[in-house]
Every structure is written in structure tokens, then in C-alpha cells.
Structure 1
């Protein structure tokens, strides 16, 4: 059984690692030239019931704990005047909740757990063609080709593999602009104190200015706006961004002024929360390729859980991969639907005119309940993690 995984993100690498542990060889085809070809984004928090469970199945729980930053769970939510609305502090050193880990560190952890030849770099999938005797022929940018018996699409929001199973549309749900402040403790100690060891959200009317602390001593700043018709180039100017936050406390807008990278804007998209497809032999999807959701809390965790559950089915039924895939898909559709609906509601709340009041109510526990875990984003999560 030759298994090809399109996409070397967290979901695809988790799947490859678990299958490798059970003696099932796979090849991960990744479009990037190397692990260091581009930034992997900010940090994320791994949930015990999903991301951490997947790492346990992958035999990597101990290595995760050594890389995790439990202090990164600290989270403050402010209003535009700088007044604190919510302040969550985790127990010092505790790994019992949802500790943070930089995406780059987590990806490196997974890559280091695989044989060197398990990832084929610089292989951007262009087409996957069904073969008459089953399986697929794969063609990559540059003319390379390969064959497989089972194809797993882990190739993200713009998945090529998805088009073989569903034509579910993508719709814009927000605009996100990201910036970076490097060496923040030395260069901007006031901003380091403002953000702290974890995450900061500043909530305005239909806009969020946020920042998160990374393990390399930098801050990742994010500006979240409602989806609009403006060309993305509109948001490549710091001056334009500062004008959006006119009247806000200068200590907050200093997060924009202090950035030493150019603003990087992009559209945030999502699929319908009820997306499903008819089972097709030898092919399936995991992660954003399967269920691209508004980025407010679950993306990376659910991608890794998808990988763990698909791997368990394939390991448990290696002689009948189609039955394994069918069982995985049925369970995944049932699990994801309420999570995707919740993500849609939270996305709307986060960028609503009354977001500040809604968020305070959301994070205020009832007398018999703990406070909800807060997200560790720049704004609504771009790679998924809490809420």
C-alpha cells in the first residue's frame, strides 16, 4: 500500500509519523524547498483532547512538553483606551492546560521524527489522475511524477486534492494583516511588558489589534478586520493601518509603529460548515483541505486529530484501506460539523460592532464553571487554536 500525503504541514506530518511508527511507509510531498524556506507563522496552543492526543499517538508527547511554553497561555484583552477587560494567568509552569508552542518548533519536532526520505521537498502537486487499476498518478510542478495507491490531501486552504472530491466554495470571512517586532525585549521593552509572555487582544468596533510572544523573543502582531472589497495592497502601508486605529491609546498603536517588517495582508477564507463529499476509493482529506473554518480556534488541533484518527483506521485495517477511509470520514464529518458552526459564530462575534461586551460575557465564567480558555492569536487565530 503506497500512501502519498500532499502537504507537509502539521496534519500531513502527524499522519506520516504515526503511520511510520506502525511500519506503514508514506511519502509526504511538500511544495516548499526546505523546512526553512519560509516562516511558519506564530504560536499555537495544543488541546489535550486533539493536538496533544495526536502527539501522544505519534510518540512525541515528551518532546512536546520539553518544547512547550506554558507561560504563553497568559492572555489579556483590552479596550481601545488600554483598559483591561479580561486577564487570564495560567498556573506557573503547568502543562495541564493548553500550553503554547511555536508552529516552527512543532513542525521541526515532527520532521525530526521522520526518516530523511519521508518528505519530498519542492514537490508542488499540480494534478492527480485516477489510474485504471486504482490509485492515482501524481504530477508535480517541474514535471516530476509519482504513483500511489492511497492519496491523502493535507494541502491546506487551496487544496488541489479537494477538487477531486468536492467543489465546496471558499468565502472570505476576514482580512488579516501581520507584522513582526524582533528582539522586543531589547528594542521595545515597553511593548514586551504590554504583551507579556503570552497574548494580547485589543478589541475595537469590528477590528482587533493583537500580538503574541514567540519563543525567539519576537512579537507577532496581527490586525483583524471584517472582509471588504479593498485590494490587499491597501493594507501594505503602516500609515493606512495607523489611520484605522485613530483615537486608540498610543501605547497600543505602538505595536504597529514598532514593527520592523512590512505589513503582510491576506484574505481569511472558510468553507461551508456542512461540507461533506461522497466517499471515493483511495482518496481522502484532512485538516484545512477537508474543513477550512474561520480561524478562531481549532484548525491545527483538528488537523492533527484528523491525522491521528485516519492513521488509526489505516493501521487497524491495512488490507482494506477503502473501508478504513470510509470509517474515518464518517466520524470526521460528525466531529467537525459542530466545531465549524461554533467557529462561524465566534468569528462573527469577534468582529461585530459590540465585540468587546460579547467577549467579556463569553470569558466570564458562571459561578460553577471555570473561565473558557482563551485563544492565543494575533486576533482571531490564523492557524487555529483556542476558543
Structure 2
């Protein structure tokens, strides 16, 4: 397939005002201005004259497929709120690939999402990076697990206070995380000693601790739900104590400590922004949050937290950042290449780059113009819209 004459937002270089994208199979093979189009290319041609062409959008944090659309409890599989520590839970075991919101995602140009368990538990479980087209979740996986979900602040407090169980304070929430990380360190140490000494027995298998081992090795990032600045500080504190690879999720008050986060080189996934201040820890909500973070040098992604904000409104969330002062291409990066980099999947998605998956969107105008309409969407070179 050859897409020609489009305004290309490559996300790995400047905008190409009139360019082409060549696709072979499920990969992008060439991108450039029309003046550099090589001859002799075979295959169907898509004339994108007057259209904008950009990589499929990436939502860095949502719960797509885990909270069923218009179903209620029967399809509410995002929180195992019977145990505050559940690192062994896997998103892929709960995702309903046939939930209609996957169709909504594709219609909005969202071709890849990080989805997983919610924020009821201090340690909630394993997120997965999925393409948004498919009937069988195993065939949609880009990376699984892609991160481990932690949560601080109001959500665990509220859930377990209602149950009259621990944790009901921020101290207890942090203590549960520390306790289980310490147990996993001890478990890992016993495994290492058994590997080195044939006379030493392996520790009894523990699914929870086994799931935390790659977190402690730095192989699996921690995506930590934290809204208030003090909760963000706690996340950073724990990450330093255990050498974790930390990403802050939501970060509602992150702009208040943007310089500190920049010094620590900690990315922030901001959002959702299209919500009200529905609970106390959202009191400091500001549309300028991603703008101020980016200006401070923090790598920023923007998310919907679907279903908090419906997945198809991801570009609207980025457009809100533009209205607050962010450059258009920078805001587009926050829903394409930045989340891909933060998630460790930028070798597959996030930009129109030769060798990457042919996840491509064509729209009638700039992707962040609310009047633009998504006309065509390709995932792995196959048209899905």
C-alpha cells in the first residue's frame, strides 16, 4: 500500500507538508516527501490529498475491556477489591476483546492502549499493551506484562475503609507496598542462593512474589496511581528505596513539583482531564498540568483513563492541552510517541517510521482539531475503519 500527498505527522521528525508512506505487509517500509518517492512501487494507492496522516494514537493508561460498556457488575473486572495486594493478576485474563468500546477506540484513531486493573489496591496487577482490533486478546498483545500497577492516596483508603479492613490510611497503603516488595526481595535472594548452591532448596512457589521479581530487577516498570503531590512524593520515595523504574499515573498535582520530577527523570501520564473534581484529591486539577510538566522537562503522556473519559476522546484530551498552551505537535506526541517510549514499545508504535507497525490514521484535518473527522484507520496495514 502506498499513501500519497498527505500532510505527514511522522512524530520522529518535522511535519512533511506533502508526503508519502509506503507499507509492505504489516510494516512501514518508507516515509518521506513526495519529491523523494521512489519509482516502481507496486500495490494499492491511497491518495491522501487534503488529509492529515499520522501514527495510530496510543493511550498510555486506561481500563479498556475490563469495565464493560453499559453492563455493570457482570462485566466489572477492573478491581479485585478483596485483597489489597494482587500483583499476580493479569489484565489479559479479564479483557473482553469484543467490548464495543474497542470499536469506539478505532473510530477515534486509537490503535494501541495500555490497559489493566484499577486503583482499588495498593498493588493491583499487571497491565498489558494491546492493539485495539481483534477478537482474541492473545492476538492483540504488543507487550504483556508491560507494567505493574500500584496505587496511592484516596482510592485504596476509600475501598478498604468501606470494608473495615487495612489500609485506611496513606501510611498503611505505603506499608503494604513496602512489605510485599521486601518479601519479594527475600524470595528472590533465596532463589539466587538455591541457583548457586545445589544443596539449598528453592523457596516454595509464591505467585504474588514471583510477579514482583521483575519489578525489583527493573525489568517491569511500576505505573503508580497518584494524584496529590504528597502521594507522588511517596511513590518516588518507595521507588528509590527499592530501585524501581517508576512512572507516575494521573499526577493531578504533578505541576506543583514539576522541577523535582524533572530532576528525578520520572515520566508522568496525565489525565483524565475531561472530568470534574469528583473527589478531594482532584481539588488541584488544572488543564495546564501537562503543559507545565513538559516545560519543566518531564516526559509527558496524556491518557483517558477509560471509562472515566471515553477512549475515543483521547485527541480531545490532547487538544485541551493545546488550549492551555502546549504546542500542537508536542501535544500530539503526548498521545503517540511519548506513551510508546514510556511503555517501552516505541520499537513497534508511536511514529511513522520504517520498520514499525503500519498503524496509520487519515483525518480530514489536524488530528487535534475538534472539527476533524477520522476517515481511515489501519492497524498492521489492515484497514479497520
TM-score tier by shorter-chain length is under 0.3
Structure 2 length as normaliser, TM-score? Answer: 0.24
- When the two structures are superposed, what TM-score results if normalisation uses the length of structure 1? 0.23
